[in-house]
């Protein structure tokens, strides 16, 4: 089976103000074959620093995720959850999403067939890109 690059994203929600509003946008990415959900875990940290995980059918705020197509299960382990939880401030929550970049499958296959290896990759935060474009526009 051809598989594209796989990555994770940890989306934090300070103050535990998670509403599920990201589910429709994620659903469109799935429908457009941009990504394929491999695993999805919701993490919460209370004021005392206690960590809990939830499935989409355990909380009303997560119900919007029930209709998303995906594998959703088993690849995110306890060590991954501990790592993600360490990044959370008390009284906050997060969605930990593991997805395949379906859009890049063809390129990934070509790189593998050419005996190429990915040396490095990173996601550049929106704020950094926004600032760079603003500085570029003001310089021109």
pLDDT, tens digit, 9 for 90 and up, residues 9-29: 999 999 888 878 889 999 999
Tally the domains of the chain.
1
Indicate whether 76 belongs to any domain: yes
Indicate whether 63 belongs to any domain: yes
Given strand 92-101, what is the order of strands in its sheet? Answer: 6-14, 92-101, 35-45, 51-54
- State how far the Cα of 62 lies from the Cα of 48, in Å rounded to an integer: 23
- What pTM value is reported for the model? 0.84
Beta carbons of 137 and 77 less than 8 angstroms apart: no
Indicate whether 75 belongs to any domain: yes
Instruction: Taking residues 25-38, report their average pLDDT.
Output: 93
User: Percent of the chain having pLDDT more than 70?
Assistant: 99
Structure tokens at 101: 């970049």
Indicate whether 29 belongs to any domain: yes
Beta-carbon-side half-sphere exposure of residue 54 (alpha carbons within 13 Å): 18
Residue with tokens 């997560």: 62
Find the domain containing 44 and state its range. Answer: 6-105
Among 60, 46, 52, residue whose Cα is nearest residue 18: 60
The chain-wide mean pLDDT, for the chain, equals 89
Indicate whether 132 belongs to any domain: no
pLDDT computed for residue 69 by the predictor: 80
- State how far the Cα of 84 lies from the Cα of 107, in Å rounded to an integer: 29
pLDDT, tens digit, 9 for 90 and up, residues 81-124: 999 999 999 999 999 999 999 999 999 999 999 999 989 988 89
Indicate whether 69 belongs to any domain: yes
Indicate whether 119 belongs to any domain: no
Residue 88, helix vs strand vs coil: coil
pLDDT computed for residue 72 by the predictor: 58
Indicate whether 125 belongs to any domain: no
* Burial zone of 3 (CB within 10 Å; 0-12 exposed, 13-18 middle, 19+ buried): middle
Buried b (16+ CB within 10 A) or exposed e, 78-90: eebbeebbeebee
- State how far the Cα of 61 lies from the Cα of 120, in Å rounded to an integer: 36
């Amino acid at each position: 089976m051809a598989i594209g690059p796989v990555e994770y994203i940890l989306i934090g929600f300070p103050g535990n103000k998670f509403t599920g509003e990201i589910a429709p946008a994620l659903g469109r990415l799935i429908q457009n074959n941009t990504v394929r959900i491999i695993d999805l875990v919701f993490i919460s940290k209370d004021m005392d620093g206690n960590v809990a995980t939830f499935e989409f059918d355990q909380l009303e705020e997560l119900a919007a995720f029930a209709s998303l197509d995906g594998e959703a299960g088993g690849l995110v382990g306890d060590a991954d959850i501990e790592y993600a939880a360490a990044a959370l401030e008390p009284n906050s929550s997060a969605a930990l999403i593991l997805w395949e970049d379906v859009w890049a499958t063809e390129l990934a296959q070509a790189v593998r067939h050419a005996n190429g290896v990915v040396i490095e990759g990173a996601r550049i935060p929106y704020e950094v890109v926004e600032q760079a474009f603003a500085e570029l526009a003001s310089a021109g």
